Amino acid sequence: MEINWQKEVEARKDDLLKDLFDLLRINSERDDNKKTADAPFGPGPRDALKHMLAYGERDGFTVKNVDNYAGHIEFGEGDETLGIFGHMDVVPAGDGWQTDPYEPELKDGKIFARGSSDDKGPSMAAYYGMKIVRDLGLPLSKKIRFVVGSDEESGWGDMNYYFEHEEKPDFGFSPDAEFPIINGEKGNITLGAHFHGNNEGEYRLKSFAAGLRENMVPGAANAKVILPNDKAALEMEKAFYDFVEKNPVTGTITVEGVEASLELVGKSAHGASPQSGINAGTFLALFLDQFKFGGGAKQFLHVAGTIIHEDFYGEKLGVAYEDEKMGKLTMNAGLFAFKESTDGFQADNFIAMNFRYPKGITAEGLEISIDGNLGMQGASITHNERNMLPHYVPEDDPLVATLLSVYEDHTGEKGHEKIIGGGTYGRLLERGVAYGAMFPGYVDTMHQANEFMTLDDLLRATAIYADAIYRLAK
C-alpha cells in the first residue's frame, strides 16, 4: 500500500496547529508551592496533561489519566505494545523573550513559545502521526500507546508513579530530541556542594543566587555584598564594569553606602550542552572571588568562580572522562544559592552540579572524586535520589533499523546512530530510543529564551512519525 504521508499531514495542518497553539498557551512550569493531591507538580503540568488527554477523548481513542501524574492515549490490539512518550511540562520561561512565551506566535516560518520544541511541538507531531494511522484504518498487529508525562524536566516523578500502576510498553520511542535517531544517552546525576554561611573577611557576601533548574545553564545571577568602606565601594563599581567589558556578559551594579547589589546576565542553554551557554553564576562568582571575602562565603565563591567556572568537562574537578562511543563527561553548574548565616553547613547554601556521564564510570565513583576534591575547599557533597544509568540500544536492533529506514526514505539522507548527554523518556524502556523531532542543522533553542520550532520541521516530523508508527506496528 502506497501512502502519501505528507499529503495526509497537509490535510490536517490547520487542526494540528490549532491544537498545538492551544496547548502551548498553558503555562506548564512545575510549581511545588502550588502542588496538591490533585496537582502533584502544580496546576500547570496538570492542566496541560488533561488538555492533551482531552484531545485523545475527542478523537475517539481509549484514554486513561493516572491521578494527574501521567496518562495515555491508545488504540489497537496485539500481544505487544508500541510506546510513544511525550511530556507536557516545560522549564521556566526565564527572561530575554521577544514574544510572550505563553502566547505562541508564528512568524518567519517559526513557532515561538516555551515548549514549542521541548516537547509540546514534537509530542503533537507524534500524536497526529498516530491519529493518521488510526484514521486511515491501516492493518496493525500491535497496540499503540501514547504515554503523556508531566514531570520530565524535573524529577520524573510522573513516570515513577505511572509505572507503579501501568505496565511498560515492549518497545518504543520519545519524540524529544533529534533525527535521525538517539539510541544512546549518557548517565545523569546531580551532586550538591554545600557550604557554611559565615563571613570572615573584609567583604561580606549577604546573598548570591543564580539558575532556574539544574538542567539549565543559568542565564542570570545576582548578589548582595557589604563592603568595608566607601572607597572599596567605588573600586568594586569600577572593577565590575571593567569585568563586564572584557567578558561575554552584561550587567549592572548599584551601590548604596557600603552595600552593593550586582546583577549579571549570560546566556541560558540546555544543561546537557553547558558549553553552549554563558553561565552567569560562575562569571559573577569569578568577579567576586578577587575580593577579600572569608569563611564559607569565600569557599563558595572560589569553588564557583575558579574551580567549576567553564569546567564543562570536569577537568578542574578531576573527573574528566571520555568513552569512545558515548563521548565526554559534561558538567553543568545549574543552581547557586547562598545566604549569610552563622550556623554550620546550610542546606540552602549550595551549588548544584549536573553531570552527564558515559559508560565506563559510575555515579558512586563521581561522588567519591568530587567529595575528595571539593572537600578540600570546605564543601560537603550530597547527591540527589535520581541517578540515570547510561542507556544504549544497538544500531542493529529492529527498532533502530526501522526508524533509521523511515528517516532515510523521507529525507534522502543517510541515517546513523547518535548518543547524547540529554535524558529522554526513551530510556524508560530497555528497547527505547529518542526519535526527532529536530532535524540535522537545526538551531537548538531548548531551555532558552525565544524557543521555537519551524513549521516545516513540525510537518515533516509528523509525516515521519506516521510512517514509523505504521511500520513498527503493522
The one-letter amino acid code at 12 reads R
Q: 224 and 350 share a domain?
A: yes
Q: 203 and 173 share a domain?
A: no
Contact 152, 160 (CB under 8 A): no
Q: What is the pLDDT of residue 345?
A: 67
Segment 181-199 mean pLDDT: 95
Domain boundary among 318, 351, 383: 383
The one-letter amino acid code at 242 reads D
Q: 207 and 171 share a domain?
A: no
Q: 362 and 397 share a domain?
A: no
Contact 65, 71 (CB under 8 A): yes
Residue 51: pLDDT over 90: yes
Q: 217 and 357 share a domain?
A: yes
- Give the closest residue to 289 by CA, choosing from 272, 307, 268: 307
Location of C-alpha cell 565601594 = 233
Residue 298: pLDDT over 80: yes
Instruction: Find the domain containing 359 and state its range.
Output: 188-383
Residue 342: pLDDT over 90: no
Q: 103 and 221 share a domain?
A: no
Q: Is 152 a catalytic residue?
A: yes
Q: 450 and 334 share a domain?
A: no
Q: 297 and 371 share a domain?
A: yes
**Cell numbers linked to 205:** 557576601
Domain boundary among 383, 416, 442: 383
- Which of 74, 119, 152, 367 does the annotation list as catalytic? 152
Q: 463 and 356 share a domain?
A: no
Report the alpha-carbon distance of residue 103 to residue 404 in Å, rounded: 35
pTM (global) more than 0.85: no
Question: How many structural domains compose the chain?
Answer: 2
Q: What is the pLDDT of residue 364?
A: 94
Q: Which residues contact 164 (CB under 8 A, 6 or more apart)?
A: none
How big is the CA angle at 96 (ends 92 and 98), to the nearest 5 degrees? Answer: 110
What is the domain-level CATH number for residue 263? 3.30.70.360
Burial of 166 (0-12, 13-18, 19+ CB in 10 A): middle
Lowest mean pLDDT among 189-193, 303-307, 381-385, 449-453: 381-385
- Which of 8, 29, 59, 89 does the annotation list as catalytic? 89
Q: Is the peptide bond before 437 cis (omega within 30 degrees of 0)?
A: yes
Report the alpha-carbon distance of residue 382 to residue 193 in Å, rounded: 7
**Cell numbers linked to 14:** 490547520
pLDDT tier for residue 227 given thresholds of 50, 70 and 90: very high
Q: 177 and 251 share a domain?
A: no
Report the alpha-carbon distance of residue 229 to residue 16 in Å, rounded: 62
- Give the closest residue to 150 by CA, choosing from 231, 41, 59, 239: 41
Report the alpha-carbon distance of residue 177 to residue 316 in Å, rounded: 30
Report the alpha-carbon distance of residue 421 to residue 400 in Å, rounded: 19
Residue 470: pLDDT over 70: yes
What is the domain-level CATH number for residue 121? 3.40.630.10
Domain boundary among 383, 411, 426: 383
Which tens digit of pLDDT belongs to each residue from 62-82? Answer: 999 999 999 999 999 999 999
Q: 347 and 422 share a domain?
A: no
H/E segment holding residue 241: helix 230-246
- Quick one: CA torsion of 132, 133, 134, 136, rounded to 10 degrees? 80
Q: 218 and 173 share a domain?
A: no
Residue 420: pLDDT over 70: yes
Phi then psi for 420, rounded to 5 degrees? -125, 170
Residue 344: pLDDT over 80: no
Segment 196-207 mean pLDDT: 96
Segment 318-330 mean pLDDT: 95
